[in-house]
């Protein structure tokens, strides 16, 4: 990540406190760029506070960005240099990044479908909805501060992702369709909050999941037929191991040995709860 969660949360708080709503001068801009020979992209997205939506772009579009922002304090960022694409806003005042005000500020973003991507998304105090299904994700890094975030993978990732990493602070974080992500390894680091990981989707390869949580609840939803093995290192974190069989220091699904695809889960958690649910 290009900066820590603490910086994003602090920036979002400064934005709300430092500028009264009456001083804001809102402007809406739309920027579009079409694919012109690009074969892959390293995409960096930064957004401090407001409403944020991301989805795949229509055929032939490299990116499409619609941004509502305060032009007295910020300017849009849409910079392409070689394979590096930076999107979001730039502060005009003393290094504060993001959009000020949790109300009113909006970023709607669409990124090229089918083009291999290393995608890095960094958010502060946002209400975010990301539909990443169908994007060709080689790597994915997503950090969220004090936010409500939903990430969906409604369509399969056409390439094998080496790593998908999610960092969430004091947040509600829900990820759906993780079976479609087609990742070798998924890492989740969460502070205080509610985390739900849904592994429905088109499973093609085995995956490893590492979860590290502080005070909060973790819900794991698995499709039937997926081989699941959970190893936990917890301090006063309860585990509802529905449908799993304890074997040594691990909990296994009954079909672990015979399953075509397997998910190995390592959980390190403090206070809180871990709930296992099976999808219909």
**pLDDT tens digits, the chain, 280 residues: what are they?**
554 444 444 444 434 433 444 457 899 999 999 999 999 999 999 988 789 999 999 999 999 999 999 888 888 999 999 999 999 988 777 544 444 444 568 999 999 999 999 999 998 888 999 999 999 999 999 999 878 999 999 999 999 999 999 999 877 999 999 999 999 999 999 988 899 999 999 999 999 999 998 888 999 999 999 999 999 887 656 788 888 999 988 999 999 999 999 999 999 988 788 899 999 8
Question: Global pTM?
Answer: 0.87
Tell me, what's the pLDDT at 161? 98
Which residues, 6 or more positions from 147, have their beta carbon under 8 angstroms from its beta carbon?
Answer: 123, 124, 125, 126, 127, 128, 168, 169, 171, 172, 173
Tell me, what's the pLDDT at 94? 59
Tell me, what's the pLDDT at 21? 44
Tell me, what's the pLDDT at 236? 56
Burial class (CB in 10 A: 0-12, 13-18, 19+), 63: buried
Tell me, what's the pLDDT at 235? 67
Total structural domains within the chain: 1
Domain limits at 148? 5-279
């Amino acid at each position: 990540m290009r900066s820590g969660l603490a910086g994003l949360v602090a920036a979002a708080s400064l934005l709300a406190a430092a500028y009264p709503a009456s001083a804001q001068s809102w402007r809406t801009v739309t920027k579009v760029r079409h694919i012109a020979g690009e074969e892959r992209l390293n995409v960096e997205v930064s957004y401090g506070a407001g409403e944020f939506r991301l989805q795949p772009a229509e055929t032939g579009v490299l990116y499409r960005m619609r941004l509502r922002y305060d032009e007295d304090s910020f300017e849009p960022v849409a910079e392409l240099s070689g394979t590096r694409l930076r999107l979001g806003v730039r502060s005009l005042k003393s290094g504060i990044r993001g959009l000020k005000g949790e109300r009113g500020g909006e970023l709607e973003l669409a990124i090229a479908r089918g083009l291999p991507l290393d995608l890095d998304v960094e958010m502060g105090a946002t209400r975010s909805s990301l539909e990443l299904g169908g994007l060709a994700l080689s790597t994915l890094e997503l950090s969220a501060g004090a936010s409500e975030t939903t990430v969906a993978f409604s369509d399969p990732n056409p390439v094998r992702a080496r790593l998908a990493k999610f960092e969430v602070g004091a947040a509600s974080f829900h990820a759906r369709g993780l079976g479609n992500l087609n990742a070798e390894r998924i890492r989740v680091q969460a502070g205080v909050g509610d985390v739900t990981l849904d592994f429905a989707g088109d499973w093609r390869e085995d995956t490893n999941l590492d979860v590290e949580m502080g005070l909060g609840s973790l819900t794991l939803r698995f499709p039937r037929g997926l081989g699941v093995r959970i190893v936990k290192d917890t301090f006063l974190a309860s585990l509802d191991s529905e449908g799993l069989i304890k074997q040594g220091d691990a909990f296994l699904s009954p079909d672990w040995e015979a399953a075509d695809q397997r998910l190995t889960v390592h959980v390190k958690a403090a206070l809180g709860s871990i709930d296992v649910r099976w999808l219909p």
